Amino acid sequence: MIAKLIAYSARNKFIVVLLVAFLFLWGLWALKKTPLDAIPDLSDTQVIIYTQWAGRAPDLIEDQITYPITATLLAAPKVKAVRGFSFFGASFIYVIFEEGTDIYWARSRVLEYLQGVKDKIAADVNPVLGPDATGLGWGFEYAIVDETGGHDLSQTRTLQDYNLKLALESVPGVSEVASIGGFVKQYQITIDPNSSTFRTI
């Protein structure tokens, strides 16, 4: 069989060269078109719930926020595990779904169950969902550095929050741009009860 194949290839050199050229071009096309991921995303489908309750101790956060939400979400369909973490002034709950669950279906189920738990938690807290990204979604970091020294940390943070962040969040595939560092711009209003006007500091 192999001897016949070699003999046929020797007699039909043009066909063999044509076949090799076709396979070479097909290999180049496949190399460019085949989707490859350097780090395959094997993480579970998860939804993060973040709740801020400023100035409260972790045990109060656990009793009033983390436990009621966690206990309610355990009954959600396709939920594999619910993990809650209570910190000073904040609560993080990770809802992990079964493999193959659509992330947007999971987020809509979590929102439905959060509506049902509203009367079990403190009235002045508002649980919010984290970004619709996976555990491997942190793909890029950058720093704003003023090498001229003409801007302080407040001005660079303002540039980040009001210019760069908004532009980057409009890029397809970007789920969230998280700002860290600098001084957040604040407005303080001082009301003078003896005046009909007010001034902004």
| DSSP letter string, 25-37 | HHHHHHHHHS---
More confident residue, 132 or 149: 149
Q: What is the pLDDT of residues 10-31, one digit of tens each?
A: 888 888 899 999 999 999 998 8
Q: What is the pLDDT of residues 118-146, one digit of tens each?
A: 888 888 888 988 877 666 666 778 888 88
B/e letters for 138-175, b = 16+ CB within 10 Å, e = fewer, are: eeeeeebeeeeeeeeeeebbbebeeeeeeeeeeeeeee
- Degrees (nearest 5) of the Cα angle 174, 52, 200? 85
* Model pTM above 0.75: no
Q: Which of 129, 84, 89, 103 is nearest to 44 (CA)?
A: 103
- Relative to beta strand 199-200, strand 128-129 is unpaired
Length of the chain: 201
Q: Where does the pLDDT of residue 150 fall: very low under 50, low under 70, confident under 90, or very high at 90 and above?
A: confident
Q: In sequence order, which ranges of the chain are alpha helices (DSSP H)?
A: 2-11, 13-33, 58-61, 67-73, 103-116, 153-159, 165-169
Res 184 pLDDT > 70:
yes
Domain boundaries, the chain: 2-33, 46-129, 140-201
Contacts of 182 (CB under 8 A, 6+ apart): 153, 154, 156, 157, 160
- The whole-number pLDDT of residue 194 equals 77
Enter the tokens of residue 47.
């939804």
- The whole-number pLDDT of residue 122 equals 81
Q: What mean pLDDT, rounded, does the chain reach?
A: 85
Distance CA 177, CA 131 (A): 10
φ, ψ (nearest 5 deg) of residue 81? -160, 150
**Span 155-174, mean pLDDT?**
88
More confident residue, 42 or 168: 168
Q: Which of 118, 124, 58, 67 is nearest to 90 (CA)?
A: 58
Q: What is the pLDDT of residues 28-86, one digit of tens each?
A: 998 888 877 666 667 788 899 999 888 888 899 999 999 999 999 988 899 999 999 99
- The whole-number pLDDT of residue 49 equals 92
- The whole-number pLDDT of residue 93 equals 92
Res 165 pLDDT > 80:
yes
Q: Which CATH class is domain 46-129?
A: alpha beta
Distance CA 174, CA 34 (A): 22
**Span 177-192, mean pLDDT?**
81
Q: Where does the pLDDT of residue 201 fall: very low under 50, low under 70, confident under 90, or very high at 90 and above?
A: low
